[in-house]
Amino acid sequence: MRLEMTDDEIAVQEVFAGFFADQCPPDAVREAADLGHSPDLWKRLAEMGAPGMAVAVEHGGGGATLSDLAVVAAEAGRRLAPVPLIEHAVAVRGLIATDPGHDAVADLVAGDRIATLALRAAIEGEARLVPGGAVADVVLGLADGALVVGGDAAPGAAQANTGDLALANRTLGDGQTLAAAGETEWRRMVSEWQALTAVGLTGLAQEALSLGTTYAMEREQFGVPVGSFQAVQHGFANVATSLEGAVFLAHKAVWALDSGNADADRLAAMAFLFAGETAQACAAASLQYHGGYGYAEEYDIQLYYRQAKARTLVLGPPSAEYRRLADVVLAPDSTEGAAA
């Protein structure tokens, strides 16, 4: 595994860091809160080729690796970009892997239509709280052990949630079957989502930490900056140390998926869980050192605090994923662990 970005990845980072800083300021996140999605931002991303960048060239994509896409995911996470970029990329890659001739592929790669992935198996034909489900035209998911693609109309409204994400229930019961025994393919997509979301959460955590340290050096008490107090410095140092580890683990999980490493599934789960904990810790520390202002809507840190929690819960209770991960690590041959 490489510990430094390549020149190409640095170039991608510079382009998308500038793009999201310009096109997705905090006010844009607030404006998209009702739906959890910004059509204008998605359109601009499509013009840059982001929705299909990690799709092979022969299918009309950019031919980039997951590691390249992870660079974009980090910058999107840093700005809380209200678009289902990760869900779309993972779902499109999964659709092409199972049905490369599907009639929706061209529009999805171009970003003219939006795809997403149901992260939990459907119950009685319904996938619950699908990320991006409020706006996705195509939903891939697991129903009765089969990998299916549903094309029911997007509801255009999100279910109320802490992070103002585009979550919605979607119907998969009458969907087109891509693989009758599709748990392996679905699990692969979930792992890709976990690894890329982990990277996005580290971007979120980095910006939350930056907001906190900037405020601590501007806010004064007893005639000196709050950031000069040792207790505050120690608090930031503790979460910053965890963040370094979360960044490394998240990118290692992406690398493992890219390279076909046998540990990819459990690394993705570990990265997602640790990045979620770390993002919440960074946002909580920064919010605490903002004092009462941290809870005010006009301060940006509350956006990061709420989204750190919400994005971690999209997969379900972390305790359930810890149990699944324990099955994978302690009983690698357990079918229960693989299908949970």
Burial class (CB within 10 angstroms; exposed 0-12, middle 13-18, buried 19+) of 297: exposed
The mean pLDDT value for 78-97 works out to 98
Lowest mean pLDDT, pick from 62-71, 180-189, 315-324, 329-338: 329-338
Cα–Cα distance measured from residue 94 to residue 185, given in angstroms and rounded to the nearest whole number: 7
The mean pLDDT value for 126-141 works out to 97
Cα of 186 vs its chain's centroid, Å: 17
Cα–Cα distance measured from residue 215 to residue 298, given in angstroms and rounded to the nearest whole number: 14
pLDDT in tens, 161-197: 999 999 999 999 888 999 999 999 999 999 999 999 9
pTM: 0.94
Q: Does domain 185-339 correspond to CATH entry 1.20.140.10?
A: yes
The pair of structure tokens assigned to 17 is 């860091």
pLDDT in tens, 256-291: 999 999 999 999 999 999 999 999 999 999 999 999
Cα–Cα distance measured from residue 107 to residue 229, given in angstroms and rounded to the nearest whole number: 54
Write a three-state SS string for 73-120: HHHHHHCCCCCCHHHHHHHHHHHHHHCCCCCCHHHHHHCCCCEEECCC
Cα–Cα distance measured from residue 296 to residue 303, given in angstroms and rounded to the nearest whole number: 10
